[in-house]
Structure 1
């Protein structure tokens, strides 16, 4: 008989959104739970993220706007099946489409305030069958973290946007100069910031708002004991069944038993460069927006216990640039909104365009890595002109009018009076770069990107400029007004996307397809149920919450009783 220092019904490793969802389900089922978090802070990568959930057929969509059949049609069209993607299958994708809206209803019923992320946040491949050109996204409302109290407020991991603004509204602010409505929105937010400081509020939004609200629900309902600074080093097995874990308490090993099961939601391996070199060569932890505790410990431990690891070469790419100060930034300077705007393209080191500069950030970085195998493409170069600089911010670093001298002096941004001279500055063949720019300008004037169809998708235009009127769509503008500019782009990420293979009930599987009894997983500890594709905004957080919830339902023997 295995000896434990204490025992719970449900033992959860990691404190991401899926962990909280599972704990709330277990509480409703009358079961005890503990959440063991390696870091000093609660919230995991979810807390640092946008906190968006991709939930098809969710409660905030209009009647008739979506359906189970439409969602499954889209997922089956976007996500390829095959031996290199065992984390996904038609059955697992359907399980997600069926259970995700039910999970959301359950979480809202626990007092977690949610809303539609936007009425216009299209699927990343909205042109495919079943794609939605409006929005399947869900986000949490901004949250005053001081509601967590003096003990827990400091333990909520820092978010990337700590102001009282809805995420959708925050994305409108860069276009403030074009709209009095957005100007009024800005002043409303500013007044709320001031009022918050005067009244002792600490507002957070995006992922921190989601996790703050989830943590508040767990604490208020006493759904789980939550322990920080509690790394797990081992899964305890009794024969072929997982029955507990070894963690640390009061400076010594502490054995925690699990009557119903162990849920692994321990994050990925974005900060483990050795694992990155093994599984995804050419990528770097220094470019990642993952959190410091994402070191892959549980990937290694689960593999040692016989679990199948798969899709380990995948990451949720998020293109970034080494702008001044990037190495100390809490959030690395992303460039999706840079290359996706009018008057900008991206070229490899031979001066050639090789993809649609808009679209999914995951696909963008995958394209860069694939291109680099045959043509030098890391870094690639974003090419812009003065029209761009007059209108848009660059990589979250503000506008050119205020920062240009510093950018050029640092060597990060290159500037030249002609395209050919710019090519020389970035060591790209001048004639090739000139030909590429002229070809692009021809596409703009002709009304269609004949090479990569930029602007055909609604999502491409979402990334562009809703007020842009001088091109065929909202994301295509000429590059013809000097000076001309270039910044280097590299394949960053927001986390890894591979891990253990699970079934439709979130049970961890061995190489032979058999179940490791008592062991469940969700989040980026798993091989994504979306395979090697990112179907839309929130395709990590949504599945993490849903499959964490599914795992708890299965372990508690509830089946669809709460459906």
Structure 2
């Protein structure tokens, strides 16, 4: 029988969003909890993300706008059941839709201030049955980290947007020159910022706001003993049951027992190049926005203990470009808002378009990897004209007017007076690129993308320009005004999307399909319940929080009490 240095009812590995929701529910059940975080900061990948939860029929939607059945219908339409997607099945998808809204109500009841992410943030495949063209997103209100106190405020992982702005407000700011309403939003944000400086506040939003608020709730309710710099390298099994873990304390192995079980929410393997080469060749850890501790340690450990891994070839793709400074940027420069705008398309190295440049970032990068198997497509090239440069920022690096000289000098951006000359500059066949651009311009003038149907989804147009009036929709504009420009695009990511296979109670499954007793998992440590698809904004954070909560519910024997 295993001997332990100390024992808790519930041992959680990792401090992402699912860990916090799980700890809060265990506290309500009067159970003792420890959260063991490998890094020196709390919050996991969630902190660095947008912190969005995709939750059908949630409390913030209008009455009659959505239903559980509609959410289930959408997931069943978009997610394919297949042998290579063992993380999903109809039962697990229904469980998510039914339980996610309950989890959300519970979290709000714990004092975590949340709101609708936007009234217009469509599902990524909104044209399919059950799809919503408004928004199923939920986000946290901006958070002042000083509310965590002097001990814990420095331990919250840095977010990507440290301003007193709601995520929805921040996404509207690029269109400020078109709207007095958006100018008013900017002035409000500026006012909050100045007031915050004067009063000593440190505002964060997006994922850091969500995790800041979750951490505050856990601390205030004394729901868990949270330990940083505490990596877990072994899960202890007895008779097929998880009874504890081996971590590190004061530089030495430390064995912690678990009366009810162990929850693994230790992140993915985005920073482990050897695992990337094995499971998703052609991708690079340098292109990932995953955090530095995402090295797949627990993937390896659980597989060694007999757990089934699934969907290991999947990542939450996020197209990016190696713009000047990309190697030291905290958040890699994404190009979704570049290729999705009017006056821009993307081509492979043969000079040909091969997909809808709008839509899901996960599908976008998957298409790049698939295309590259037959036609060189890594990098691909975003093609733009002067109309684009006059209106929009490029890859999150600002407007061309201020930055063009350094972009060209670095060699990152290519510029030419004609499409044919641009083709020569990026070493693609000039006739092919000219034909591709001419074909695109014809689609714009005729009002329909006959090749890939760009602009036919609400989400495509959400990615475009709501104030654009010169084309058939918000995301299609001609490429005809010189000079012409190109930047390289590669299949980056915000994290991996495969891991241990779990059942609807979040129990980790063995290779034979039976569950380990007392061993649970959530987040990107698991094969996603969304299978190989990303159905909407927040399809990682929402399931992590929900299945972490479900794991606690099952382990504590709460049944239908919550």
Using structure 1 for the length normalisation, give the TM-score: 1.00
Cα distance in structure 2, aligned partners of 1:53 and 1:68: 16
- Structure 2 match to 1:448: 448
- Structure 2 match to 1:474: 474
2:290 partner SS: coil
* Number of positions where the alignment pairs a residue of Structure 1 with one of Structure 2: 562
Shift of 1:264: 0.1
Shift of 1:12: 0.1
Cα distance in structure 1, aligned partners of 2:559 and 2:51: 27
- Structure 1 match to 2:111: 111
- Structure 2 match to 1:186: 186
- Establish whether residue 177 from structure 1 lines up as the match of residue 177 from structure 2: yes
Cα distance in structure 1, aligned partners of 2:410 and 2:241: 57
Cα distance in structure 1, aligned partners of 2:340 and 2:452: 13
Shift of 1:425: 0.1
Cα distance in structure 2, aligned partners of 1:560 and 1:412: 56
- Structure 2 match to 1:250: 250
* TM superposition outliers: structure 1 runs of 4+ over 6 Å: none
- Structure 2 match to 1:121: 121
Q: Deviations over 1:65-105 (max 9, x none)?
A: 11111111100000000100000000000000000000000
1:444 partner SS: helix
Aligned-CA RMSD value: 0.4
Q: Deviations over 1:266-316 (max 9, x none)?
A: 000000000000000000000000000000000000001110001000000
- Structure 1 match to 2:12: 12
Cα distance in structure 2, aligned partners of 1:192 and 1:60: 24
Shift of 1:22: 0.2
- Structure 1 match to 2:393: 393
- Structure 2 match to 1:525: 525
Shift of 1:559: 1.2
Shift of 1:348: 0.1
1:437 partner SS: helix
Cα distance in structure 2, aligned partners of 1:299 and 1:368: 26
Cα distance in structure 2, aligned partners of 1:448 and 1:5: 67
Cα distance in structure 2, aligned partners of 1:427 and 1:2: 63
- Structure 1 match to 2:51: 51
Q: Deviations over 1:8-51 (max 9, x none)?
A: 00000000000000000000011000000000000000000000
- Structure 2 match to 1:261: 261
Shift of 1:396: 0.6
Cα distance in structure 1, aligned partners of 2:69 and 2:104: 19
The within-5 A match list for 1:114-153 is: 114-153=114-153
The within-5 A match list for 1:357-372 is: 357-372=357-372
Cα distance in structure 2, aligned partners of 1:61 and 1:71: 13
Shift of 1:238: 1.1
Shift of 1:195: 1.0
Cα distance in structure 2, aligned partners of 1:249 and 1:349: 52
- Establish whether residue 436 from structure 1 lines up as the match of residue 436 from structure 2: yes
1:383 partner SS: strand
Cα distance in structure 2, aligned partners of 1:237 and 1:488: 48
- Establish whether residue 199 from structure 1 lines up as the match of residue 204 from structure 2: no
Shift of 1:197: 1.1
Q: Deviations over 1:99-149 (max 9, x none)?
A: 000000000000000000000000000000000000000000000011100
2:187 partner SS: helix
Cα distance in structure 1, aligned partners of 2:376 and 2:475: 26
- Structure 1 match to 2:224: 224
Cα distance in structure 1, aligned partners of 2:69 and 2:363: 25
Shift of 1:550: 0.1
- Establish whether residue 92 from structure 1 lines up as the match of residue 92 from structure 2: yes
- Establish whether residue 283 from structure 1 lines up as the match of residue 283 from structure 2: yes
1:326 partner SS: coil
Using structure 2 for the length normalisation, give the TM-score: 1.00
- Structure 2 match to 1:164: 164
2:327 partner SS: helix
- Structure 1 match to 2:356: 356
Cα distance in structure 2, aligned partners of 1:251 and 1:513: 37
- Structure 2 match to 1:407: 407
Q: Deviations over 1:456-496 (max 9, x none)?
A: 00000000000000000000000000000000000000000
Shift of 1:325: 0.3
Cα distance in structure 1, aligned partners of 2:423 and 2:250: 60
